[in-house]
Structures are given as structure tokens and as C-alpha cells.
Amino acid sequence: MALEITDANFEQEVLKSSKPVMVDFWATWCGPCRNIAPYIDELSKEYEGRAVVGKVDVDANDQIPLKYGIRNIPTILFFKNGELVDKMVGGAPKSAFEEKLKALL
């Protein structure tokens, strides 16, 4: 299952990670977020040890979405060495997320 990322642990889990990080910004009421949730969880298992795959609930955490200008969900941000390097907005097939994640390894 994807790592739960919060306002409190974002710096440690994402910005200070030695591995590439994929962060899914979502909410329980968001249909497209629910549609991609299985892909996010599968990628977290498949890339365990090589990358961090996490999720931020935008209803429970307002600082990170504000900092990164998240206006639409799902939005997936990709980080490497603490820097934002890529972004996807909206639903997509699993292969699209995996392609972006692989490019960071």
C-alpha cells in the first residue's frame, strides 16, 4: 500500500528521500482518484526499495497542496533529490505513471 504522506512528514518522506518519490494528491470523494488508487498501490509494491510511492489526502493536509499549487485532483508529482521534476494531472493508465517513475530511476 502507498505511504501516507502528511503535512507533518512531507519533508522527511519526500524532500529528504534518497530515492525518487511519486506523490498522488487525492480525496475520498474524487471519482478519478478512486479509479487510479489501485495503480498507485500496485506501483508502491512493485517499486518498493527503489522508489517511494505515497499519497496525500488533500482534505486532511492543506499545506502541501497549497505549496505546490494543487488545484485539480488527482495530481501526481514526481520528485528526485528533493526537487519537483515532473507532474501529471488527471487519471491515466497505470503504464503512464510507471513510465514517469521509471524515468527517475
Q: Which residues are catalytic?
A: 30, 33
**The dihedral of CA 59, 64, 66, 72: what is its sign?**
negative
DSSP state of 4: E
